[in-house]
Structures are given as structure tokens and as C-alpha cells.
Amino acid sequence: MLVNDKMQQGYEYFYTVPEGEMFADDFKPELTPRQMLELGVFEGHYLNDCQREFPANWFTEAKISLNKPNIKLNYFQIKSRMSLPEWQKRGWILAPDPRGWFQWYCRYYMGRRLADIDAWQIKRWRSFKRHYAQVKQNCLPMDLDCRRRQRQALLQWAYDPFF
């Protein structure tokens, strides 16, 4: 895959495993990238200029905002992310994936494997599970109004926030 979009030019990578298969043993996301986009993540303003890199069917029902982020497109209609400059300042952006974790996950899902980066991102994903435990501990089952910010964040990290 050759990438030429607003944030990355001339980056080439290859799929080494089949799409949606052969994930690391300790990486079991509950949602696919397509499901995440359909439910509403990142205010609809994440992959809007690089859709050609991913399967078209990921975007047929996706909640996308071409002009600017739109909180109403998030499933829980609440902002639950930091800005890209903040991610960069914290060292959460690695060179192959200038958009961060979700871009990495989309490429991983498609079959790209980069051992060191995959291990680092999977470790970050696993550590995010603490939010699931906090919501479960503090909310009644299926009370989707309880801890909406954390539930939106769980959705944006491929955890099922509907419990």
C-alpha cells in the first residue's frame, strides 16, 4: 500500500497476514474499524482524507465530517479525545502512523505487522481496559448515560462500551 494523503506522503507498507486475522494473542479488540466508524468516533473527523487506503465498505455507513470535527457524530455525543499536538507532546505518535492509535489499528486490522510498534500499541490498548473496569464498577448495567466520556473513549479504543 502506498500512502499519499494530507499527513503522510510516500509511505509504503505491505500486508503480511489476511485482513482481520492473526492478531497477537494479547490483542482482542471487541470492535472492528468499520464498526467503530459506523458507531461514531473521533467526531467524524479522523480518516476523512485517506479513505482510499482502506476498504470502501468501512465508509458506507460511517459518520464522517469532512470540514471540521463534529461532536454530534460521536456515539455518546461528547468529546473524548485530546488534540493531535497533545498526543505528539506525550510521545503517543510514532512515525509510521502520524494519526495515532486508530490509524495503527486500521493498518494492523488490514494485515500490516511491525513487531516493535505493534507490541507498543497493544500494550497501550491493554492498559486502556482500566476504563472498562471503572465504568462497570460505577454504573448500572446498560446505563449508557453513566460515564459517557469514558464510554466514548472505550469505543475509540475498540472496546465495546455497551454493557
Q: Please, are residues 121 and 108 in contact by the beta-carbon 8 Å criterion?
A: yes
pLDDT of residue 120: 96
Q: What is the pLDDT of residues 60-76, one digit of tens each?
A: 999 999 889 999 999 99
Residues 6+ away with beta carbon under 8 Å from 133: none
Strand stretches in 9-159, DSSP E = 9-12
**Distance between CA atoms of residues 72 and 41, nearest Å:** 10
Domain count, the chain: 1
Give a yes or no: residue 163 inside a domain: no
Strand stretches in 78-139, DSSP E = none
Q: Which domain holds residue 105?
A: 2-156
Give a yes or no: residue 127 inside a domain: yes
**Global confidence as pTM:** 0.94
One-letter identity of residue 108: Y
Q: Please, are residues 66 and 90 in contact by the beta-carbon 8 Å criterion?
A: no
Give a yes or no: residue 151 inside a domain: yes
Mean pLDDT of 126-130: 94
Give a yes or no: residue 104 inside a domain: yes
Copy the grid coordinates of residue 74: 460521536
